[in-house]
Amino acid sequence: MLEIILNIYIIIEKYKIVGFKAISYEIDGDDDDKIKYLKSRVIEDYQRAKEFSAPTNRFGQFMEYRKFSKLEEQGMHYQLFENIFSYYSIPERPLVCVTPILDGKILNQ
């Protein structure tokens, strides 16, 4: 099935999420093939991905990565990507590959 999929990067500095980057593709195939495709492009896509701002609290402080991890465990991390989904005009829960960037280093498996 042809659908829009995303490589999303979480930019982490000193254990705080300071930004996001994302790039989209519209491809066909099953979910496993799409994930493999996204993972194969993680390094190359990082430099080309569009930047998005990270959420802050009422004091202007960035979210700690451990809080993001808790949201992810509960399946609620997608809420943080709403501006990315809106930018690419896609549904709330598209197929994504999320890659952390810790102090400038890509952490991919």
Model confidence, pTM? 0.90
Work out the percent of the chain whose per-residue pLDDT is above 90: 68
Range from 12-16, 23-27, 88-92, 96-100 carrying the lowest mean pLDDT: 88-92
Contacts 24+ apart (CB under 8 A), 82-91: 83/52, 83/53, 84/6, 84/8, 84/20, 84/22, 84/52, 87/22, 87/50, 87/52, 88/4, 88/6, 88/22, 88/24, 90/4, 90/6, 90/24
pLDDT of 109 > 70? The answer is no
Q: pLDDT, tens digit, for every residue of 30-53?
A: 999 999 999 999 999 999 999 999
